[in-house]
Amino acid sequence: SVKQHQVIIIGAGAAGLMCALTAGYRGRDVLLLDNAKQLGRKILISGGGRCNFTNQNIEPGAYLCSNPHFVKSALARFSQWDFIAMVERHGIDYHEKTLGQLFCDGSAKDIVDMLTTECDWAGVKIQLRTEILSVAATDDGYSLQTSEGEYRCESLVIATGGLSMPKLGATPFGFRIAEQFAIKVLPTTAGLVPFTLQPEDKARFEGLSGISLPVIAQAECGRQFREAMLFTHRGLSGPAVLQISSYWQPGQSVRFDLLPDLDFVDWCKTITAESPKLSLKNGLSRLLPKRLVERLLELGELPNKNLNQLSKADVAALDSYFHCWQIQPGGTEGYRTAEVTLGGVDTDELSSKTMEAKRHPGLYFIGEVVDVSGWLGGYNFQWAWSSGYAAGEVV
Ligand code: FAD
């Protein structure tokens, strides 16, 4: 027998849960389906298990999307403050870690529990372990063939996320549905992802893994991030690298300022006056991790001299070396470790107010499946909450 619901949402992740509870409170009969055994798995492991659930500084400029205006309406109608208010109503303690990033004091499970409790209060039915075999349009909505039988609904919401972390159940389902309905999907790539190095650089930085330092990373498009960079066994990571990776194209270089804010020429003058016989190595080790300085000396990239032996030209060369340290990454680690998927369902195809497909009434796309990706730091969950709410108000 065919089971009928007013609203069916596919994907019980961040966006799907928010959409479901919002629609449920409006009195809509909502069924939330997922093929996984457990809901909200990405929420559970996010932010190192503490879930960076939003950011105090949410603004449209922190999102990558082919239409930069698209996010404005949804972010304004369900903002970070609305989500924070929900977190506070549930008595969940949280703190700001850095740069406006809000994390649970306890665990990410608090956020999943909050959302499932709200879904329960709103009368949402949640059904896990359900494979969606096919979707078709009907005269008055949509029909789904699933491993648990046939379902019909007036409104169908696709909230199946992007391609990052296939281990956590990421599938291209949402993109396939869009293509089935001739909705344009913009090419997808891994975002917020570590860089791998070209073989020469890999050899150059052998043994530096674990070293972290504050930098300003700049992509060729001019976008900059001031955060930490981390050397790893495979390449470069750390928040500065993850952020800039979303603005990087294969073949491009990334420029790092390894001594942000330091007037190197001035610093050289001062320290040389104080300790003229100090080696450059020991002088630089006051500014940078010692192991990094030693390695750069070994490589012959820095002169093996005392400070008072440095010529004006040496100082100028060092100044530009540290402020414009350039790397051409070999690639990225890809979806295996990426936090987000760039690209996705073209926002030109969707209403920015409701997330409804312009040419397919009753069909909605929310969350990461849409061509919207945020910076590191709670921006992606906020997009999931905001876009989920926008659809939840109208489905
Ligand atoms: P998801 O949360 O991915 O949910 C999609 C759901 O759809 C899943 O439950 C999945 O099982 C289900 N699904 C998929 N395919 C099918 C199918 N074929 N049939 C049925 N169901 C299906 N963002 C932040 O803002 N802060 C963070 O701290 C943060 N940490 C992260 C850490 C990691 C390791 C990763 C990978 C991401 C992190 N992100 C973080 C990004 C954030 O998790 C995502 O942007 C967000 O979860 C997207 O929400 P969504 O609901 O669109 O998709």
Sign of CA dihedral 53, 56, 60, 65: negative
Question: Does residue 257 line the site of ligand 1, with CB under 6 A?
Answer: no
CA distances from 70 to 67, 84, 157, 179, 254 (A): 6, 23, 18, 21, 28
Question: How much is the pLDDT for 248?
Answer: 98
Say yes or no: CB of residue 164 within 6 Å of ligand 1.
yes
| Ligand 1 midpoint to CA 206 (Å) | 34
- Token pair in block for residue 155: 């409104």
Q: Is 34 in the pocket of ligand 1 (CB under 6 A)?
A: yes
> Ligand 1, closest atom to CA 47?
28
Per-residue pLDDT tens over the stretch 60-97: 999 999 999 999 999 999 999 999 999 999 999 999 99
- b/e sequence 247-272, b meaning 16+ C-beta within 10 Å: bbeeeeebbbbbbeeeebeebbeebb
pTM, two decimal places:
0.97
The interface predicted TM-score (ipTM) is 0.99
Nearest to 366 by CA among 4, 41, 7, 89: 7
Instruction: Check pocket membership of 44 for ligand 1, CB cut-off 6 A.
Output: no
Cα 124 vs. chain centroid, distance in angstroms?
28
Q: Which residue, 98, 101, 116, 126, is CA-closest to 44?
A: 116
| Structure tokens that stand for 226 in this block | 């001031």
336 C-alpha to center of ligand 1: Å?
13
Identify the residue whose tokens are 């926002």: 347
Distance CA 383, CA 135 (A): 26
Nearest CA to ligand 1 atom 25: 378
pLDDT at 290: 97
CA of 199 to the centre of ligand 1 (A): 33
How many whole angstroms from 375 Cα to the centroid of ligand 1? 15
Q: How far is CA 304 from the centre of its chain?
A: 42
Q: Is ligand 1 within 6 A of the CB of residue 332?
A: no
Please report the sign of the dihedral spanned by the C-alpha atoms of residue 122, residue 79, residue 15, residue 108: negative
Evaluate whether 20 touches 30 at the Cβ level (below 8 Å).
Answer: yes
Residue located nearest, by CA, to atom 32 of ligand 1? 46
Write down the pLDDT at residue 304. Answer: 95
Structure tokens, 337: 């470790």
Q: How far is the CA of 192 from the centre of ligand 1 (A)?
A: 14
Q: Which two three-digit tokens encode residue 97?
A: 């870690």
User: Which residue's CA is minimally distant from atom 12 of ligand 1?
Assistant: 11
| Beta-bridge partners for 96 | 102
Pocket test for ligand 1, best of 42, 43, 376 (most atoms within 8 A of CB): 42
Q: What is the pLDDT of residue 86?
A: 98
Predicted pLDDT at 193: 98
Asked whether 237 lines ligand 1 (CB < 6 A), one says no
Which atom number of ligand 1 is nearest to the Cα of residue 169? 11
- Nearest protein Cα to ligand 1, atom 37: 339
From 322, 350, 329, 323, select the one nearest 247 (Cα to Cα): 329
Q: What is the mean pLDDT of each successive set of 10 residues along the chain, which is 395 residues long?
A: 97 98 98 97 96 98 98 98 98 97 98 98 98 98 98 98 94 98 98 97 96 98 98 97 98 98 96 96 97 97 96 97 98 97 98 98 98 98 99 98
Q: Is residue 238 within 6 Å of ligand 1 at its C-beta? A: no
Q: Among 41, 46, 58, 373, name the best residue to mutate to test ligand 1's pocket (greatest count of ligand atoms within 8 A of Cβ).
A: 46
User: What does the block give as tokens for 215?
Assistant: 């930098």
